[in-house]
Amino acid sequence: MKKRILLIITIILIFIIILISTFQKNTYQGKITKIKNYNKRTIINLKNYSMDFVLFDNIRYLESCNSLKIEGEKNTYKNKSQIIINKIICLK
């Protein structure tokens, strides 16, 4: 009986951890140091972050922003950390 209760509690806790990790958003905020526009993507560098922020779109209004708030997923490309941007907000 105790083993069964322990198993049920463990399954419930694993489910809760999965839910929390699914809805947790990675948010980054900072001043723009560099913007590189390519044909189908834009690479943004923010002050105090050593990684690139990659947006698979070419957005021109970013050049008028001083700082950004970014939500995205961490990824590795050619052994370099980068953030794939899901949402971007201009803070000026």
Q: Which tens digits make up the pLDDT trace of 17-70?
A: 888 777 767 888 889 898 888 888 888 899 988 889 998 876 777 777 888 898
Given its phi and psi angles, is residue 79 left (phi above 0), alpha (psi -120 to 50 degrees) or beta? left
For the question of whether the overall pTM of this predicted structure is more than 0.75, the answer is no
What confidence score (pLDDT) does residue 24 get? 67
Rounded Cα gap, residues 44 and 36, in angstroms: 6
Q: Given 2.60.40.10, 3.40.50.720, 2.40.50.140, 1.25.40.10, which CATH number is that of 27-90?
A: 2.40.50.140
Tell which wins on pLDDT, 31 or 92: 31
What confidence score (pLDDT) does residue 21 get? 72
